[in-house]
Structure 1
Amino acid sequence: MYISHLSLTDFRSYAQADFELGPGTTVFVGSNGVGKTNIAEAIGYLASLSSHRVSTDAPLIRFGAERALVRARVARGGQATAVELEITAGKANRARINRANPVRARDILGIVRTVLFAPEDLALVKGDPANRRRFLDDLMVALRPHHAATRGDYERVLKQRNALLKSARSGRYTAAHESTLEVWDQHLAQAGARLLRGRLDVLELLSAHLGTEYAGLTDGSKAATARYRCTVVEELDDDGGTAALPATALPPSAIPSASQDRDRQDPAGGTREAGAVRAPGLEGAGIGDLERMFLEALAAHRKKETERGITLVGPHRDELDLFLGPAPAKGYASHGETWSLALALRLASYRVLGEDDPREGAGPILILDDVFAELDADRRSRLAAVVAGAEQVIVTAAVAADVPSELGGRVLRVTPGHVSP
């Protein structure tokens, strides 16, 4: 997959910008603050309908303009598609496919697939659990766009249930509150079970590559693993979260070595099932099982939730634990290890998306936004070797010399509001 042409109208700092792209590597070079990341953000937004930098659409629209337009021609497996997205702050965004009548924005999900790595991705390791939940959900939607509705359904029901809990907390808890809560419990459990099953499926695919990708970026002395910690089946602490992890949270028997990671590779280049437990308490659970477990957990925590006026159980409070060896990466990984683990998560995502559609030319676009400046020479070379096989790689850099020569490719100069050879 690759974008052959990109057009931006009133997007961020660009009043109008049109430029040709193509297969292979394209490097956007320019001083900090001139708009390189805006280009990466626009391509990523076409793929996910979200920004890796901001949580609302308003900042995406050039100051003083009413709307922004992002247009692209996309080649995928020999098929060309024109896609256009209109972004309007405070209103529903609209899209067009092959210049047809406007459709819902989410109808374009899946046309463009990207994996974007940026400095903000350090939060995948160091930041709050919300960053890791969003990472799983974004990959879930990229793989199966219909899960955008799954995600939206859960968020909508959760908002309604929280409003009811808040109302019950501010007044006297009555039988009417109880009966209404039971109705919302059913809706929340149904939507939450679908979301949770989707996350677990994604984690299973992701885990098959995480250790190998991390080992490829480092000396391989520590194994990278992940575990899903679920509020539906785990005990809550006094603050309503799952218990904190100790420094040696995984037993040695659950941690594959770097050599075991290599041994698990199958002839097709993937990896077989890893040794670490992925989601304790949820092994083999189907959607019906998860719904039942969800309802039981809601009933068990009814008193605590009504006292606090908030839903304490569900995917919105779950955690994805990341480990290097037996220790949690958060708080224990060095700066270099943190960078490598964040990169490995994105590269594992790239492998998962590539395997999902094995047709030649159907792999996702890889975007590296200001990444190489943060890496030492060895990690730069290792990363360049990994990504060189992608059909299209978009790189941004303040200094061209930061980009490893192994990537080669076309260089475009970015100045405020303009892109030129």
Structure 2
Amino acid sequence: MRLSHLSLVDFRSYAGLELALEAGVGVLVGPNGQGKTNVIEAIGYLANQGSHRVAQDAPLVRAGAERAVVRGAVRHEDRTAMIELEINPGRSNRARLNRAPVNRPRDVLGYLRTVLFAPEDLALVKGDPAERRRFLDELLVARAPRYAGVRADYERALKQRNALLKSASMMRRAARGGQVPDLSTLDVWDAHLAKAGAHLLAARLELLRALSPLADKAYGTIAGHPGAMLEYRPSCPLDPHVRDGGDTVGVAPAPDPMGRGRRREVDELEAALAVALSRSRAEEVERGVTLVGPHRDDVLFAIDHGGGALPAKTYASHGESWSFALAVKLASYDLLRSDGIEPVLLLDDVFAELDTARRTHLAAVAASAEQVLITAAVDADVPPELDGVRYRVAKGSVTRGDTVT
């Protein structure tokens, strides 16, 4: 898989851009603030319909413009697909595939796969749980785009349930004697949330089972010793028979040797979520928000030096944190490659952040990629083994040689 052409209209600093891209290594070089990362961000948005820099779409639209358009031609084997996303802040985004409108933007997910490594990825190790949840879900959707619908179903149920809880909380506080309003409608949304949440949770656990050994292997190569551990930490017991106060730490389990099947796992997780929602309802009504479910879960990144695993967030050095973040992204790349469709590798200004050993390992992986796009402030930041097409970026324009693209 590779991206052969990128078009931008009113995206970030680009009023318009037409950029032809080739297989192999492409390097965008230019001083900071000139628009290199904007190109990488646009490609990532085309693949994931989200930005690695901002949570909302509004900053992606060029100042003074009402909308932005990102369009890309993706080649896979002997086929080419044209993907187009129209970004409309405050309104619904729209998408086209091969110039024909599709029902929903998520219908074009999966046509382009990317793995991005950027300075912001240090937040995977040092940041909030939301960073790790987003990473896991984006990788999940990249492998199986149908899970974008599962995520949407869960988020819709969560939004409705939170609205009911907030209303109930306000009514309870306003009522004399602490009377509790009718919460019968909440039962319906409990069922919706548990069902969608169980499918999402089962998929996350399965993904983590596949990703964990790859991350440990990559970390061992980068850091010189294995010991990277990824454990799923749910917000409630995954066993419906465990009472509150029991062991709520969930490590992604190994495949069941009895072969109970995915359907049974989903059913058990749905039951566990339903029990947890029931048990937490009084506190949720008091606080006006849903306190249990996949939206509150975390993934523990831990490092074992031989004396026991310690959370990387609090115990890893700066170098170890970079190694862990890089290992997780390289594991993602290996996992997607194992599915038979090699993703486009995006490296945004990371070589300047890495020491010699980490630069060498990342360069070796990048050199083997079908297509890799790199940003750097100066040519010297790019390892010499990554010799490829150079693009010069300055003031919202991209040039290759003497030709303005």
* SS of equivalent to 1:321: strand
Structure 2: how far apart are the matches of 1:81 and 1:242?
Answer: 51
Q: In structure 1, what is the equivalent of residue 310 of structure 2?
A: 327
Structure 2: how far apart are the matches of 1:241 and 1:401?
Answer: 55
In the alignment, which of 207, 212, 221 is matched to residue 207 of structure 1? Answer: 212
Q: In structure 1, what is the equivalent of residue 175 of structure 2?
A: none
Structure 1 gaps of 5+ residues are 246-275
Q: Counterparts of 1:328-367 in structure 2 under 5 Å? A: 328-356=311-339, 358=340, 362-367=341-346
* SS of equivalent to 1:158: helix
* SS of equivalent to 2:398: strand
Deviation at 1:77, TM superposition (A): 2.3
Q: In structure 1, what is the equivalent of residue 356 of structure 2?
A: 377
Alignment check: 8 A CA contact 1:69 1:86 kept: yes
Deviation at 1:397, TM superposition (A): 0.5
Alignment check: 8 A CA contact 1:11 1:69 kept: yes
Alignment check: 8 A CA contact 1:28 1:397 kept: yes
Q: Give the length in aligned residue pairs.
A: 381
Alignment check: 8 A CA contact 1:164 1:177 kept: no
* SS of equivalent to 2:373: strand
| Per-residue deviation, residues 384-411 of structure 1 (Å, max 9, x unmatched) | 1122211000100101111111121111
Q: In structure 1, what is the equivalent of residue 375 of structure 2?
A: 396
Q: In structure 1, what is the equivalent of residue 23 of structure 2?
A: 23
Deviates more, 1:43-52 or 1:290-299: 290-299
Structure 1: how far apart are the matches of 2:219 and 2:395?
Answer: 36
Structure 2: how far apart are the matches of 1:177 and 1:114?
Answer: 47
Judged with a 3 Å threshold, the aligned counterparts in structure 2 of structure 1 residues 363 and 96 are, in CA distance, closer, same or farther, namely same
In the alignment, which of 249, 269, 278 is matched to residue 252 of structure 2? Answer: 278
Pair 1:406 & 2:385 matched: yes
Structure 2: how far apart are the matches of 1:365 and 1:241?
Answer: 45
* SS of equivalent to 1:206: helix
Root-mean-square deviation (Å) = 2.3
* AA aligned opposite 1:6: L
Deviation at 1:176, TM superposition (A): 5.8
Structure 2: how far apart are the matches of 1:401 and 1:186?
Answer: 57
* AA aligned opposite 2:147: H
Alignment check: 8 A CA contact 1:165 1:306 kept: yes
Judged with a 3 Å threshold, the aligned counterparts in structure 2 of structure 1 residues 377 and 140 are, in CA distance, closer, same or farther, namely same
Q: In structure 2, what is the equivalent of residue 230 of structure 1?
A: 234
Judged with a 3 Å threshold, the aligned counterparts in structure 2 of structure 1 residues 227 and 302 are, in CA distance, closer, same or farther, namely same
Structure 2: how far apart are the matches of 1:144 and 1:344?
Answer: 22
Q: In structure 1, what is the equivalent of residue 78 of structure 2?
A: 78
Pair 1:302 & 2:281 matched: yes
TM-score by length of 2: 0.89
Identity of aligned residues (%): 55
Deviation at 1:123, TM superposition (A): 0.6
In the alignment, which of 273, 276, 291 is matched to residue 312 of structure 1? Answer: 291
| Per-residue deviation, residues 346-402 of structure 1 (Å, max 9, x unmatched) | 11111111112x2xxx30000000100100122111111122211000100101111
Alignment check: 8 A CA contact 2:114 2:345 kept: yes
Structure 1: how far apart are the matches of 2:61 and 2:294?
Answer: 32
| Per-residue deviation, residues 91-116 of structure 1 (Å, max 9, x unmatched) | 11112211224542111100110001
* SS of equivalent to 2:56: coil
* SS of equivalent to 2:183: helix
Structure 2: how far apart are the matches of 1:71 and 1:118?
Answer: 22
Alignment check: 8 A CA contact 2:351 2:382 kept: yes
Deviation at 1:175, TM superposition (A): 7.2
| Per-residue deviation, residues 248-282 of structure 1 (Å, max 9, x unmatched) | xxxxxxxxxxxxxxxxxxxxxxxxxxxx94259x9
Structure 2: how far apart are the matches of 1:203 and 1:242?
Answer: 23
Structure 2: how far apart are the matches of 1:347 and 1:22?
Answer: 22
In the alignment, which of 157, 166, 183 is matched to residue 178 of structure 1? Answer: 183
Pair 1:416 & 2:395 matched: yes
Alignment check: 8 A CA contact 2:233 2:251 kept: no
TM-score by length of 1: 0.86
* SS of equivalent to 1:82: strand
| Per-residue deviation, residues 13-70 of structure 1 (Å, max 9, x unmatched) | 0111112111101000000000000000000000000000111111111111111111
Deviates more, 1:323-332 or 1:68-77: 68-77
Alignment check: 8 A CA contact 1:234 1:242 kept: no
| Per-residue deviation, residues 215-261 of structure 1 (Å, max 9, x unmatched) | 121212x41010001123079xxxx999999xxxxxxxxxxxxxxxx
Deviates more, 1:65-74 or 1:165-174: 165-174
Alignment check: 8 A CA contact 2:171 2:181 kept: no
| Per-residue deviation, residues 286-343 of structure 1 (Å, max 9, x unmatched) | 1111111111111222222222221111001111001110111001111111111111
Judged with a 3 Å threshold, the aligned counterparts in structure 2 of structure 1 residues 241 and 55 are, in CA distance, closer, same or farther, namely farther
Structure 2: how far apart are the matches of 1:211 and 1:105?
Answer: 35
* AA aligned opposite 1:136: L
* SS of equivalent to 1:135: helix
Deviates more, 1:226-235 or 1:104-113: 226-235
Deviation at 1:7, TM superposition (A): 1.2
Deviates more, 1:116-125 or 1:302-311: 302-311
Structure 2: how far apart are the matches of 1:96 and 1:169?
Answer: 43
